[in-house]
Structure 1
Amino acid sequence: MSQISEHSTALHQLSARELGAAYAARELSPVEVARSVISRVEEREPVLNAMYKFDPQDVLRQAEQSEQRWASGAPRGALDGVPVTVKENIARKGIPMPSGTALSNPKVPTQNAPITDRILEAGAVIVGSTTMPDWGMLSSGVSSLHGITRSAWNPEWTTGGSSAGAGAAAAAGYGPLHVGTDIGGSIRLPGGWQALATLKPSAGLIPLDVPYIGRAAGPMGRSVTDIALLMSILAQPDLRDYTTRPYPAMDWTADPIDVRGLKVAVHLDANAGAAVESEIAAAVSAVADLFAATGADVEVLNPFIDQQMLDRLDGFWRTRSLADYRELPAAEQSKVLDYIVAWCTDGGKFDGADTIRNFGAIDQMQKATIAATSEFDIVISPVSPMAAFPAEQPMPHPDPHATMSHIGFTVPYNMSGQPAATVNCGFTSDGKPIGVQLSGRVGADDQVLKAASWYESQRPATAVPNWLELD
């Protein structure tokens, strides 16, 4: 029996780096770990509902192949045998992609997404596909297909979304690594509301099978070092994504950066959407104070977007989704979540000129965000202005006709293409996680993660998630 096996009652709790080291030292086998993760999924799924596709026999088959590679001295790398999940809208050959909707005959991909190929090439074990809300346009785990995905911290709370299942799986310990997607905060919102380390990477850094403006895919996990390890395989060019950019090589070790002399901004007023709750503002301010106390040059960053930009972007998304909705037969339209129907139907009030103006908000937001943040190495802000809301609620606000009030801090970095990470920085008085967002310049993803790693190593004990509480 290995030293780890003797002293660990939960192999699913081990980090990706711990697993890779244990496999290399022959202290653990991928099959042992796969069995532990399978047990964990089977234990928590009746409540959390985080998995869309989960086949234990396939998980064991992949783990056995990895075990053979390690035994023969030919592993594919540090992630060989490490459990990973992917969001359901990331293509896996032959596995339907319903995108959270109960529509009949969802798309069945004939090939893997680049992300899926990179994971399999690295020898990682794909545990399954994780859930999302209808069309990924909700910041919760409410879905016409899946029902409700719930937080691993408290099933009464939302997971966040749209990478809902990925967030719950990461927090619950369905293995250490998870991949989500993000067009306005869909990786970072679940990260902030479930105490996770996440990264929405620079535009075009991680190749996508369906790229479009603002969309990104990125890692989610319990530690910055783990998500950096996943970045080392995901951030590789792939010609299938015509938006991929030729970034210079990055350092994914996630060694903490020396923050002395860094130019850091603290941004607490988005000037769009909801006001920041006092406990969240205090926790994020404390992060900035810690940077300043250690020698960073910290300044207040004034608002740089406005409500009109957010309204117009929201309006464009409604019109785009309405176009998809109108293509459905009436019988299929009735299967879409009522909240989404009400939300996208509002897109019909915009004529062609309005839609062009709404689309123009993307450029306006990109220009404003880059201009305001370009002189800073790191910008510190809340992830969301509010803490986690009830799991049954599709959005923080119950009104589908209201503009998205919770993405004022996250969506600017989708439009600008800048990297933005999250780390837990505290808890509310009723125990809800509070995330801090750290963003940087386009192409500085590794430096953003190093800054996040520094904060993760220096944060007060009151801000450190106790993952064992979730067992």
Structure 2
Amino acid sequence: MSEILNKSARETLTAFAAKDLSPVEYMQALITRVEDSEPQVGALYAFEPERSLEEAKASEARYMAGTPKGLLDGMPVTIKDLIAMKGEPVPMGTAATELIPAAEDAPIPARLREDGAIMFARTTCPDYGMLSSGLSSYHNLAHNPWKLSENPGGSSAGASAAGAAGYGPLHIGTDIGGSIRLPAGWTGLFGFKPTLGRIPIYPYYTGRCAGPMTPTVDDAALLMPTITRPDWRDATAQPYEAIDWQVPAADVRGMKIGLMLDAGCGIDPEPEVIAAVQAAADTFAAQGAEIVPIAPVLTREMLDGLDIAWRAHFWGIIEALAPERRDMILPYIRQWAEAGASASPVAVALGADQTFAMRESTAKAFQHVDAILTPVNPNVSYPADWASPTNDPALPFEHIGFTVAWNMGEQPACSINCGFSASGMPIGLQIVAPRFQDTKVFALAKAFEGWRGPITNWPRFDRERTSA
């Protein structure tokens, strides 16, 4: 049964349409894998196998009648905790949240339902999505399937763990400073953060995006026509474009591609990370691109300014809670946010202004290059029960130096695996393109994926074989 799950999303849907594979058979195999794996991985909550099987039966009937509902009919997808689904609570990763069922779907689940996808489970995240970790006061601890003692990253922790453990190919995360790309990098997935507003999201916030986290570039491309469809609730949304996301691999001959190996501040990239990203850049060069070393886009002033602005913002959320609920928040998060209570209004305002400094810096970086390559994560891995790579609330964002500026600058960016450490942990390459050039990221990633070759040793915890 587990072999059914080795197909790509597109192959699976083709098999459904040809009646060579039933959505019920696929869902049964997926349920078995989840039940075998979850005690070790801890990626999911609100896993509903009975409801999912009923939806799979309805999908099977539609295929048998030749009337599939939409582009994704019968295909399982996971949705991150932070994204509302009608009738289900949105815990926000924290025990402090009152579990009130959502009145309506957020944009992405709404579009997925329209196309017949089966949202069979939610994925875990840390409190308020404010950690690069699977640590949460509400959810079970998420682990990295490649090595269960290690962290899957975050805040889309459960999505990354589910994707790497083979819970189907399609997963949705969110990203405000790296929360799709960072965990994708640590778990070997392709994770895509679009141009701000390309994929409608609600609630929206400066730099906040949603996007796919999948084993391959093509799996992510399959999701894009559905999840980019318009939704009036996102006041930051771009005008809808009916884009063909199944783009061919880029021909990089003559392209000028920037290589940024220094984030400008934060944790210095480990030697294995530098070596893997440099090797990826050398591959682009061997294919005809001109590789141009470029300076960092982030400064210490930018990162620290964002830190104090976010601390104040989150303290405002926490302060509104009843005292007994404040006490339920993960201590790391509460300790981090408390510094915002004593911050001066001037410091908070100047800190918020650093988002515009990042916007200017990232736009400037593209004046002489077509795309930019960087590491995703500065380190190879860190313990599963740590709140962040530093595990220090006084140094919360030292690991997001390569990712956060592109959120504030609104450029599309992805993480794609570019190698493994000596310890067997995945290493991510970030590919960034100018605003609105989302398909360029897909084309470059598709090219690199082809040069790299497929990942064939994904960790699995099926009954017939267990690996980690």
Mark the runs of 5 or more structure 2 residues left unpaired by the alignment: 463-468
Cα distance between partner residues in 2 of 1:147 and 1:346:
27
1:445 aligned onto 2:438: yes
Equivalent residue letter for 2:120:
V
Counterpart mapping for 1:42-61 below 5 A: 42-61=35-54
Q: Share of identical aligned residues, percent?
A: 44
1: CA distance between counterparts of 2:384 and 2:10? 32
Query: For 1:186 and 1:140, how far apart are their aligned partners in 2?
Result: 9
Whether contact under 8 Å (2:174, 2:180) holds in the other structure is: yes
Count, aligned residues: 462
Question: Which position in structure 1 is the counterpart of 2:61?
Answer: 68
Q: More displaced, 174-183 or 243-252? A: 243-252
Question: C-alpha distance in 2, partners of 1:88/1:24?
Answer: 31
| Matched letter for residue 85 of structure 2 | R
Contact preservation (8 Å) 2:225, 2:242: no
CA distance in structure 2 between the partners assigned to 1:325 and 1:146 by the alignment: 19
What is the identity, as a one-letter code, of the residue corresponding to 2:457? Answer: N
Indicate whether 1:142 and 2:106 are aligned: no
Q: Does 1:233 align with 2:230?
A: no
Per-residue Cα deviation, 1:291-319 (whole angstroms, up to 9, x for no partner): 11111121111122211100111111111
Equivalent residue number for residue 275 of structure 1: 268
Aligned match of 2:322 = 329
- For 1:108, the aligned partner's letter is P
User: How do 1:99-178 residues align onto structure 2 when only pairs under 5 Å count?
Assistant: 99-178=92-171
Deviation at 1:460, TM superposition (A): 6.0
Bigger shift: residues 345-354 or 215-224 = 345-354
The one-letter code sitting in structure 2 at the alignment partner of 1:321 is F
Q: Which residue of 2 aligns with 1:466?
A: 457
Query: CA 1:116–1:374 in 2, change beyond 3 Å: closer, same or farther?
Result: farther
1:306-358 residue CA offsets vs partner (Å, 9 max, x unmatched): 11100111111111111111111111111000100111111123111111001
Q: Separation in 1 of the partners of 2:364 and 2:45?
A: 41
**TM-score normalized with structure 2 length:** 0.96
- After superposition, the Cα gap between the structure-2 partners of 1:398 and 1:250, relative to the gap in structure 1 and judged at 3 Å, is same
**Matches for 1:55-454 after TM superposition, within 5 Å:** 55-246=48-239, 248-454=241-447
**Aligned position for 1:29:** 22
State whether residues 209 and 241 of structure 1, in contact with CA within 8 Å, keep that contact through their aligned partners in structure 2.
Answer: yes
CA distance in 2, matches of 1:37, 1:16: 13
Structure 1 residue 254 displacement after superposition: 3.5
- 4+ residue stretches of structure 1 with deviation over 6 A? none
Q: 8 Å contact 1:346–1:401 — kept in the other structure? A: no
- The TM-score with structure 1 as length reference comes to 0.96
Distance in 2 (alpha carbons) for counterparts of 1:349 and 1:15: 51
Report SS of the residue matched to 1:381.
strand
**1:37–1:374 Cα change, 3 Å:** farther
RMSD: 1.4
2:440 corresponds to which letter in structure 1? Q
AA of the residue aligned to 2:49:
P
1:10 Cα deviation from its structure 2 partner: 2.5
Q: CA offset at residue 85 of structure 1?
A: 0.4
Unaligned residue ranges in structure 1 (runs of 5+): 1-7
Partners of 1:465 and 1:404 in 2: CA distance? 33
Mark the CA change 1:470 to 1:197 in structure 2 (over 3 Å): closer, same or farther. Answer: farther
